[in-house]
Structure 1
Amino acid sequence: MGMKGISIFLSTVAVLSLGSSSTTSTAKASSDQTSNSSRVYVVYMGSAAPNSLTSTRASLRTDHAHLLTSLLSRKANALVHIYRHGFSGFAARLSEEEARSMARKPGVVSVFPDPLFKLHTTHSWDFLKYQTALEIHSFPDSISDDDDDSTPPHTSVSDTIIGILDTGIWPESESFNDKDIGPIPSRWRGTCMKGPDFTSSNCNRKLIGARFYNSGDLITDNDSPRDLVGHGTHVAGTAAGSVVPGASYYGLAAGTAKGGSPGSRIAMYKVCTAEGCFGSTILAAFDDAIRDGVDVLSLSLGSSSYQPDLTSDPIAIGAFHAVEQGIIVVSSAGNDGPKRETVANFAPWLLTVAASTMDRNFESNVVLGGNKVVKGEGINLSGLQKSPVYPLIYALSAKTADADEPEARNCDRQSLDKNMIKGKIVICDTDVPIYTTDDQIEAVKSLGGIGVIFDRDDDNGIMAETYGAFPATAINLKDAKHIFSYINSTRNPVATILPTETVTKYKPAPTIAYFSSRGPSAATNNILKPDIAAPGVDILAAWPGNDTAVTPAGKEPPKFNVISGTSMACPHVSGIAATVKSQNPTWSPSAIRSAIMTTATQTNNLKATITTDSSSIATPYDYGAGEVTTTGPLQPGLVYETDTIDYLNYLCYYGFDTSKIKTIARTTPNGFACPEDSKADYISNINYPSIAISKFNGNESRNIRRKVTNVAGDGEVVFTATVDTPSGLSVKVIPDKLHFSKNNQKLSYQVVFSSTTSAPKEDMFGSLTWSNGKHKVRSPFVVSI
């Protein structure tokens, strides 16, 4: 098919892809009329046609066009999305047999069922009602105290564009005002799509683009870029919200709201609804974002219960092609912690972010009879008296005769005696995951209870959930013992729950959040993930202005909301990445990632080593290189640039063959071929800012190679290596001094790891730091047995 034929072909199928809200209805109708064996599959065909980003009419590769023609001649309503800008392929409704047939066609890299991804919030642990947010005084975030000057330096006008794949945006929020922002960059090729509740005038010089997508399966809340969930608005405000004085959640966390890069532009790609995010839609947004001209992509979403293979992971696929085009892709690590090997978004071309706490806390204390105060955490606007005058009962004591004990302890409505609950504050256990705090509060309220105290496992970490006007708070099990002792020793126990107060300068901070997913990656232990940690607990940022679900009685809907998750940590790093990009526009995505990782801190505000929520010393499996800093990445001294050949070799070592890699990659070096000896262990040698070695035993040594680029700007400069070596390991750096004669010069070195014991018993953690007296460039390493 020639170029003219391809253009005509595209015009005939465009209505079947992304353009109008009617597409969803058509696809849904098709779904209803299709056999149970038919579902949406993604057909991934690697790189796009060479001129697909620059031509006025996007072109398709010939094999791509032929495959689409064949499909549409058989199934007119099958097509869901076409990918033609950043990469090649499509999503279509196919039977399993048709999918297998597609996979055998020339030019096809992989065919896989359309996966449903989740927003990376804390729903599984029920920490917060909407499972999403964060802020911190010592780090960039969506809100800070008026006297906080720690936000990274920025200009009032910036051409850096942050693309956000999420639930949409609430454009009327003051966080997206375009005051003092200059004209939209001329290179911007995006659009502001219209919907029933969204017009082109909703975009401005701050919010320069807004797209939405029809998934073919999800029809709810999918006909406009407007955010009806809150997650996308919150994320966008955290990453690049404009400066808004006087922000708070009903007076809590009061201060001036601002994103990590307030001068950056925002482009929203609505790929998720409250139901989730389909992989085919995520790929469509990647495809558009690459063509639109974004500089940073921020994804607070990913897999949870499983880790897809690279050939079937839409985030890894889309991000690979975005990085090829010079776009840095920042992603959340997931909320399946604290178990090992739960980290999501493990591809080495992603910058993967874990979640940490900050030095601000929300306390809602319990006062017992005798005025004994028990520390609690939660966000409520309690109207109870401050004196302990309300009867107090443990839910188990109100169990009905035929109820099971666990259900009663966890405040199951059907398991409790209404007469015993009415008018009392109720203590509810939280060890049965099927009961959310919302469920428990509603149960207590329906039975006439006036307040709830949740007791939580100390190891789970306590963080502030938003309870609105209902008096509720959470305490740890250690403190709960004092309450139970009081109840058991008192004939008529009484208590009250105090309204929330904001506590600042809380210590220790940061700690790694309990829910934050941990490394190593289940896919490969030879790349350390996560890469970095950032604030992700109790973050205040912009919120949809009509959300009555989080509005206490008698109050106006909040303009800002407090939520938690690695979803909230991710945009903090996206904002920093945008700031680094604005000051170093020629830096590659890997140079920006390196600058962020090698300047991280491992020290908390007690000047001690950062710990987890359970007070254990945090390791690189918890936080990667450490907690992100705001100014360090602007002057990193040295950077590790992971170039094309590194990523291609990674694919070789991962198991791809040369022909498939040449189909995937937009450009490959002349004569490129996978090394004959390609195995997973060699992944350790791709030029990454951290080092990970797997399957290490006491009878061997491993030689790891790295290359650094001098960006210190000091002309002649010498960096000297120092190693923090764990017990049982010997680490030698060759050479241990790097002499640079000019800026941007590249020099290589080797690190030899050997054991000092015959049988290491546990994984070993350490670090290598290059310093010239002005800059410290730190790389964590992990040697796993």
Structure 2
Amino acid sequence: MRLEPDRLRTQQMPFPQCKAQSNGVYIVYMGAAATSKNNHNLLLTSLLERKRNPVLHNYQNSFLGFAAHLTEEEANDIARRPGVVSVFRDPLLKLHTTRSWDFLQYQTGLETNFRSSAKYNISSSNAASDIIIGVMDTGIWPESKSFSDEGFGPIPSKWKGTCMQTKDFTTANCNRKLIGARYYKARGAFHSPRDHHGHGTHVASTAAGNIIHKASYYGLAMGSARGGFPGSRIASYRICGVTGCWGSNILAAFDDAIEDGVDVLSLSLGASAGHKPDFQKDPIAIGAFHATEKGIIVVCSGGNDGPSTGSVVNIAPWILTVAASSIDRHFQADIILGDKTVIRGGGINFGELQRSPVYPLLYGNSAKSNSRDYDETDARKCKPDSLDKDKVKGSIVLCEDEEGVYSAKKKLEGAKKLGAIGMVFVSDDASATASSYQLFPMATVNWNEGKKIISYAKNERNIPTATILPTVSVIQYKPAPVVPHFSARGPSYATKDILKATFHNGLTLQPDVAAPGVAILASWPDNDSIVKLAGKNSPLFYILSGTSMACPHVSGLAAMIKSQNPNWSPSAIKSAIMTTASQTNNMKKPTTTDLGSIATPYDFGSGEISISISSNDSNLLQPGLIYETKTIDHLQFLCNLGYNVATIKQISSIVPPTFTCHATHASDANVPNDDSISNMNYPSIAVSKFDGSERRVTRTVTNVEDGDTSYTVDIEAPSGLMVKVVPNRLNFSGRRKEMSYEVIFTSDGELSDDNFGAITWCNGKNRVRSPFVVSSK
């Protein structure tokens, strides 16, 4: 609903008399330009004069705008007012829901061949710092030991935030570790910063929780739980409830957090797959843009709607987007068949069936109800009401998955009501998540293993039988990492729509990186009654999977880097994380997906995050070279979205006076140039619509090490694609800290749709790797 500034009305108009319509909530976004302040005030005054309590949020600290109850006609009228960038309905977004850090340290040892002599211990990063991680989620459980302030000094002087007080949350619940807590009740049934959901507490402790020894979920995953950077402070922003996260609350939290003084923002939430990336209507992209301009790195989960291509969300170039990967711990629930075959299943159950396979195993027609409304296919998939109670009672039910209809837990509930004593669930997706089924004996298997069980159930001459053993933790599991089924994938394919074309032309390598997101143990509210076992106390820790869990791993790593390099920009930190990522597993082979295919940048971006260890220092991560994506790059990106210069000057607070949009034709300064997006100084490279003729892409790197050094290039290229780098050596000496190079792509033959490779700069100590994709689409 954005109109170009030259078409906007130049005077304030009264609100039209509206027909009887139900009021929805709309977000009015007005950018960050100081010149819009008067327009912002005029709009609010006019609205308040006409309507009673229409405004839910007023954004005025870090950018301008508001959320209000409006009719569609009022929203359309406001969209035409001076200073308004866009008006859109308030969207409802969703959550993307210990050993992980040990595994990353081990993996880094393998990657750098320093494992036997590495001096670095991740606990050395635990010293209290002034770095503040802002977590936007379901709130926080302050009593968790993960948020104790023992050993922390005074609250950083830069902190301008607050600890909001309610009936169940007092200022005493904040401390020198948990320095701030806010909540946003305008949309949502919550009235406190306190987390009654668990998700926010889980992700906050993953990013920054203290070291807690002997942590486990009722004995599973026993070990020391810790966050990525225990020395950082935490500011919690409760924006989500049971139904999800309203965009108006998200923008309010961004507006506050930027002003409060956070260094890192962590958001384990976003839109669903298929949501068209649209900067002007995406509250996360809008908020993250302004945070990044103020020097705050924003880390977001990429979503759980994989493995379909184009399912990744939160893909604006100023966001660090995170996919999920597994670690070398597996929760194994074995299924023993009547013929003594042992099938390795997954999932978490504390069942108490006999170890001998004496229980009837029901599958397909043998479990079907007599109703004519259902057939054997329905029974195989355990659709509600398709199973016969008399047959199911006392049996283990074998169920197939059916995407998009009924979850494993829904089918479990239905089988339990019919008297089933166990369930085997065949699903690639469910087998990757290690969900908890508590006391009910349930195991998940992928389709490869499931076919073995199905074959036994169908071909056994006697009554097929089985049993399900309780879950055990298996460590040093191989291969790891793998990219799980659920983790959302890139790219955003080019279409006739310029917005999607823009994302594809410049930034197909989404997500940016992967991090542990499968079966992660972290802190949990100690009054929970949902995940606790009958007859037991509520657990202090719980196990969850999702890109929600991967995101705070990267947030913690970003905070560590920021603590060591306080003057680094968000793009410098992002570059350091991306260019040092790993593409190999604990078998020293290429990382794969959970189905066995080699993972591509569409699956996990630059790779899984790593902790770079050098033989002569104790620094966490030394990238050697960084790619600095500057404000001008983001502004040119906005040009490619279709914004003109006047609108960009309204959105951004730091537009250079001489700024112009790169043009395809010199005569038209407002026509975006696709190649300018490929030339964004990003740590990865993407070229689309490649027809084999020469394409050139430029990058600039900055040397962040002391002293002179020289880097040589190594090129990984697929067959049929010629890649040349000029120059092939970068010599940094004296004050020369920045150097540029050009990558030239050509082909004399037919190429596949997507062609993956990498450009790596090496100086004998550091490897700075940038993946690329060259696509014919």
1:616-656 deviations in Å (ceiling 9; x for gaps): 11111111111100236721001011111111111112211
Q: Report the Cα offset of residue 753 of structure 1.
A: 1.2
Counterpart pick for 1:289 among 254, 257, 277? 257
User: Structure 1 residue aligned with 2:64, among 80, 83, 88?
Assistant: 88
- Equivalent residue number for residue 44 of structure 2: 68
| 8 Å contact from structure 1 (residues 167, 271) kept in 2 | yes
- State the partner residue of 2:699: 706
Decide whether the 8 Å contact of 2:688 with 2:774 is kept in 1: yes
Cα-Cα RMSD:
2.1
- SS, match of residue 319 in structure 1: helix
Give the Cα–Cα distance (whole angstroms) in 2 for the partners of residues 34 and 369 of structure 1. 70
Equivalent in 69, 72, 77 of residue 101 of structure 1: 77
What secondary structure sits across from 1:408 in the alignment?
A: helix
TM-aligned CA distance change 1:43 to 1:548, over 3 Å: same
| Distance in 2 of aligned mates of 1:569 and 1:379 | 20
TM-score, length-normalised on structure 1? 0.89
**Partner in structure 2 of residue 727 of structure 1:** 719
CA distance in 2, matches of 1:614, 1:269: 37
The residue correspondences of 1:500-511 to structure 2 (distance < 5 A) are 500-511=471-482
1:335 aligns with 2:289: no
> Is the CA contact (8 Å cut-off) linking 1:331 and 1:570 kept in structure 2?
yes
Change (3 A) 1:779 1:153: farther
SS at match of 1:246: strand
CA contact (8 A) 1:453 1:474 kept: yes
CA distance in 1, matches of 2:571, 2:602: 20
Q: CA shift at 1:249, angstroms?
A: 0.6
Q: How does 1:568-717 map to 2 (within 5 A)?
A: 568-631=549-612, 634-677=621-664, 678-698=672-692, 700-713=693-706, 715-717=707-709
Distance 1:614 1:478 in 2: 9
Q: 1:41 aligns with which of 26, 29, 32?
A: 26
Closer, same or farther: CA 743–551 of 1 in aligned 2, 3 Å: farther
Shift of 1:679: 2.2
**Alignment correspondent of 1:259:** 227
SS of 1:783's partner is strand
Residue 647 to residue 357, structure 1, CA distance change in 2 (3 Å): same
Name the aligned partner's letter for residue 99 of structure 1.
A
Mapped partners of 1:617, 1:436: distance in 2? 28
- Give the 3 Å change call, closer, same or farther, for CA 372–43 of structure 1 in structure 2: same
CA distance in 2, matches of 1:775, 1:212: 44
Matched, 1:138 2:114: no
Deviation track 1:560-593 (CA, whole Å, cap 9, x = no partner) reads: 1111111111000000000000010000000000
Q: Contact 1:134 / 1:538 at 8 angstroms: preserved in 2?
A: no
Question: CA offsets per residue over residues 496-544 of structure 1, 9 Å max, x none?
Answer: 1111110001111101111111111242212121110111111111111
Distance 1:152 1:644, change over 3 A: farther
Residues 344 and 484 from structure 1, CA distance in 2 versus in 1: closer, same or farther, beyond 3 angstroms? closer
SS class of match (1:541) = strand
Partner of 1:130: none
The letter for the 1-side match of 2:79 is: A
Within 2, Cα distance between the matches of 1:87 and 1:760?
46
Distance 1:783 1:390 in 2: 55
List aligned pairs for 1:395-414, cutoff 5 A. 396-402=365-371, 403-405=373-375, 406-414=377-385
Q: Residue 279 of structure 2 aligns with which residue?
A: 310
Structure-2 separation of matches of 1:691 and 1:482: 43
Matching of residues 362-441 of structure 1 within 5 Å: 362-394=331-363, 396-402=365-371, 403-405=373-375, 406-431=377-402, 433-441=404-412
- Assess, with a 3 A threshold, how the Cα gap between structure 1 residues 134 and 685 changes in structure 2: closer, same or farther: farther
Give 3-state SS (helix, strand or coil) of 2:336's partner: strand
Q: How does 1:444-463 map to 2 (within 5 A)?
A: 444-457=415-428, 462-463=432-433
Contact 1:338/1:515 (<8 A) preserved: yes
The alpha-carbon distance between structure 1 residues 660 and 153, as it changes in their structure 2 partners (threshold 3 A), is: farther
User: What letter corresponds to residue 778 of structure 1 in structure 2?
Assistant: R
Q: State how 1:702-781 maps to structure 2 within 5 Å.
A: 702-713=695-706, 715-742=707-734, 745-757=737-749, 759-781=750-772
Once structures 1 and 2 are overlaid, which stretch shifts more, 249-258 or 385-394? Answer: 385-394
CA–CA distance in 2 between the matches of 1:266 and 1:710? 31
| CA positional deviation for 1:193 | 0.7
Query: Is the contact between residue 681 and residue 694 of structure 1 (CA under 8 Å) also seen in structure 2?
Result: no
Give the stretch that moved more between structures: 612-621 or 630-639.
Answer: 630-639
Residue 756 of structure 1 and its aligned partner are, at CA, apart by 2.9
For 1:628, the aligned partner's letter is I
Residues of 2 paired with 1:229 and 1:579: CA distance? 28
5+ residue gaps, structure 1: 1-32, 51-59, 122-132, 142-146
Deviation at 1:188, TM superposition (A): 0.5
Q: What is the CA–CA distance in structure 1 between the aligned matches of 2:61 and 2:600, rounded to whole Å?
A: 40
Match of 1:554 among 535, 544, 550: 535
C-alpha offsets along residues 76-119 of structure 1, whole Å, 9 cap, x if unaligned? 21101011111111111111111111111111111111111111
Return the alpha-carbon distance in structure 2 between the equivalents of residues 241 and 462 of structure 1: 25
User: How far did residue 743 of structure 1 move?
Assistant: 6.4
What is the rounded CA distance, in whole Å, between the counterparts of 1:764 and 1:539 in structure 2? 33
- Deviation of 1:489 after TM superposition, in Å, equals 1.8
Distance 1:247 1:134, change over 3 A: closer
1:478 aligns with 2:448: yes
* Paired residues of 1:712 and 1:743 also in contact (CA < 8 A): no
> 2:241 is matched with which residue?
273
Q: State the 1:214 CA deviation.
A: 2.0
Q: Distance in 1 between matches of 2:359 and 2:167?
A: 49
* Superposed CA offset, 1:446-481 (max 9, x none): 111111111224x87544221001111012333333
Q: Determine if contact 1:728/1:755 at 8 Å carries over to the other structure.
A: yes
Alignment-derived partner of residue 53 in structure 1: none
- Distance change (3 Å), C-alpha of 1:686 and 1:485: closer
Which of 174, 180, 185 is matched with 1:209 structurally? 180
Letter in structure 2 aligned against 1:763? D
SS at match of 2:526: coil
Indicate whether 1:464 and 2:440 are aligned: no
Query: Aligned pair in 2 of structure 1 residues 395, 432: CA closer, same or farther (>3 Å)?
Result: farther
Q: Residue 35 and residue 592 in structure 1: after superposition, are their counterparts in 2 closer, same or farther (change >3 A)? A: farther
3-state secondary structure, aligned to 1:467: coil
Once the two structures are TM-superposed, the CA of residue 408 in structure 1 deviates from its matched residue by 2.0
Q: Is the 8 A contact 1:151 1:630 kept in 2?
A: no
* Cα distance in structure 2, aligned partners of 1:190 and 1:422: 57
What's the offset of the Cα at 1:399? 1.1
Alignment deviations for residues 225-267 of structure 1 (CA, whole Å, 9 cap, x no partner): 1111111111101100111001001100000010000111111
Partner AA of 1:510 in structure 2:
P
Contact 2:430 2:444 in 1 (8 A): no
| AA in 2 matched with 1:208 | I
Aligned equivalents of 1:492, 1:39: Cα separation in 2: 59
1:175-214 equivalences under 5 Å are 175-214=146-185
2:228 is aligned with 1:236: no
What residue ranges of structure 2 are gaps of 5+ in the alignment? 1-17, 107-115, 494-499, 614-619, 665-671
Identify if the C-alpha distance between structure 1 residues 380 and 136 changes in structure 2 by more than 3 Å, giving closer, same or farther: farther
Q: Distance in 2 between matches of 1:153 and 1:533?
A: 24
Percent identity for Structure 1 against Structure 2: 55
Q: Secondary structure at the match of 1:466?
A: coil
- TM-score, normalised to structure 2, is 0.90
Name the CA shift for 1:395/1:177 in 2 (closer, same or farther; >3 Å).
farther
- Equivalent of residue 325 in structure 1, options 290, 294, 304: 294
Q: Tell me how far apart the structure 2 counterparts of residues 212 and 436 of structure 1 sit (CA, whole Å).
A: 31
Q: Which amino acid in structure 1 is aligned with residue 53 of structure 2?
A: N
Which range moved further: 82-91 or 300-309?
300-309
| CA deviation vs aligned residue, 1:331-387 (integer Å, no higher than 9, x gap) | 111111111111111111110001111111000101122433111111011111222
Query: Any idea what the Cα deviations from partners look like across 1:718-754, whole Å, max 9, x if unmatched?
Result: 1111211111211111111111114671111111111
1:656-686 CA distance string (max 9 Å, x none): 1000000011111121122333223321111
